[in-house]
Amino acid sequence: MARSLLRRMLPRTLLARNIALLIVLVMLSQVCALGVLLHYVQRPRVERAATVFATYVSTLDDLLAATPPAPRAALTARLDARTEPPPESAEAPPRSLVRAYRTYQRSVFLDSLRAHLPADMPARWQTEGGQRLWIRMHAPADAPQTPYWIALPIPEDAQGNGLEAAIFLSLGLGVLAALAGYAIQLHLNEPLQELTRAARRVSAGEMPAPLPTDGPTEIAAVSGAFNQMTQALQEAEATRALMLAGISHDIRTPLTKLRLSMAMAMPHGSDSSFVVAAESYLDQIETILQQFMDYAGSGEREAPQPGDLNTLIERLAGDFAGLGHEFELSLAKLPALAYRPISMMRLLMNLMQNAIVYGGSGLAVRTWATAETVTVAVGDRGKGLSAQELEQLKAPFQRGRNARAHSGGTGLGLSIVERIARLHGGGLQFHSREGGGLEVWVVLPVASV
């Protein structure tokens, strides 16, 4: 529990953690230095000053006691002698958080002074109207019942003015060190932020420019490794594109020859049911092949273009209407959106085709927009699936139980849709449709690409 609490208290970013650690280390070093200075340097110095001052006070007390009454009266008048100390004097100097060190030094001085003076010679500190130390002297021999108080200047060693300024200067240097560490950490974070942006561009299907490798050794090593990775990805992408083109050519060419051979091999006027069935199988093979090609190359290389999704939806709905499939359209006004036209058309065609094949009725497409997102919902009145089944359909080669009666599919349709949606910075969601059926939502950010 203590570890989890510590994790919650720690800053989230590496920059904040390094700055916090730097500040803690600087402050700890300052506190340790201050402790050593007070205990081993200043305290002995103040105690030594108190000892000397106590000797001076005792000597003055003996001198006043041995002085005749007339000269003693003149001398005590110069020392502002009083029968009682002024009310603004106190047994200890007033405490102040701002001047905590000065208060500490005066307290050490008073404690040491009282330890060296007789118990019947108390001392009081006056701060108002000037810094003075009031000490009660012994009563003279000719007036044993009238002890008096005299005011003496406070030694400089008990003031602590110079060292107080040094402490503030030390704290200021600590703050300056923390600010310098903050600036250095910001400088180190710049290549890391560039690396983050480049990694996000790679995940979005783009190939960023090589990162600079002229920074610190550790950062340069990471940038160099990232540049090698992006170069390897580019080579792999080129190999994949070449392989896809070869597969498409090498498989479609014999399929075309097979169609031609079957048509030429059948005598004129013979039963053509075999040819029709064979051509149907060949069509299924080409459909499966096209789905694999679509899944393998989902539009990363296609450049995004600004356009109106409603216009694309209306054109596709018109194409399906020409084939006898009517979609009810409910299209709200959408902001201009940058998208990859061919990939987005493939996404919408897959969703609308799935609604026709697996839903059958209640076909509808609706759109709406918020301040941050644009949503396209394709719905049908087919038998709904559970949430777990719907999420599983996003994975490649997964088919729902309502699709098992249909042949010719590969289970890649929704995987293609999911990949294209992610390519545009969005996602795919499944929702139960009001009145029965299913709606598939494609949620895209307004500045998606």
Same domain assignment for residues 123 and 268: no
Higher pLDDT, 252 or 118: 118
173 pLDDT more than 60: yes
In this predicted structure, what is the pLDDT of residue 276? 67
224 lies in some domain: no
In this predicted structure, what is the pLDDT of residue 166? 65
In this predicted structure, what is the pLDDT of residue 294? 58
187 lies in some domain: no
236 lies in some domain: no
Residue owning tokens 């209640």: 362
Nearest to 315 by CA among 352, 368, 356, 360: 352
pLDDT grade for 192, boundaries at 50, 70 and 90: confident
Nearest to 340 by CA among 245, 243, 422, 428: 422
Q: Which amino acid is at 90?
A: A
| Strands lying side by side in the sheet with 123-126 | 89-90, 123-126, 132-137, 148-153
Same domain assignment for residues 344 and 255: no
315 pLDDT more than 50: yes
Same domain assignment for residues 51 and 16: yes
353 lies in some domain: yes
Q: Which of 106, 141, 166 is the last residue of a domain?
A: 166
Same domain assignment for residues 401 and 370: yes
215 lies in some domain: no
Percentage of residues in the chain having pLDDT higher than 70 = 70
Same domain assignment for residues 280 and 326: no
Domain containing residue 309: CATH number = 3.30.565.10
Radius of gyration of the chain (CA): 45
In this predicted structure, what is the pLDDT of residue 376? 93
Mean pLDDT, to the nearest integer, of 40-63? Answer: 85
Same domain assignment for residues 439 and 321: yes
pLDDT in tens, 204-222: 667 788 888 877 777 788 8
Same domain assignment for residues 159 and 20: yes
Tokens of 247: 């597969």
In this predicted structure, what is the pLDDT of residue 160? 58
Nearest to 411 by CA among 350, 361, 341: 350
Looking at mean pLDDT, say which of 31-40, 247-256, 390-399, 406-415 comes out highest: 31-40
Same domain assignment for residues 328 and 398: yes
pTM: 0.45
Same domain assignment for residues 88 and 128: yes
In this predicted structure, what is the pLDDT of residue 449? 46
Same domain assignment for residues 160 and 256: no
Same domain assignment for residues 146 and 271: no
376 lies in some domain: yes
In this predicted structure, what is the pLDDT of residue 368? 93
23 lies in some domain: yes
The residue range of the domain holding 47 is 2-166
CA distance 185 to 178: 10
- DSSP for 189-211 reads HHHHHHHHHHHHHHHTT--PPPP
Mean pLDDT, to the nearest integer, of 239-254? Answer: 66
Domain containing residue 97: CATH number = 3.30.450.300
Q: Which stretch of 253-267, 343-357, 367-381 has the lowest confidence by average pLDDT?
A: 253-267
Same domain assignment for residues 276 and 363: no
145 lies in some domain: yes
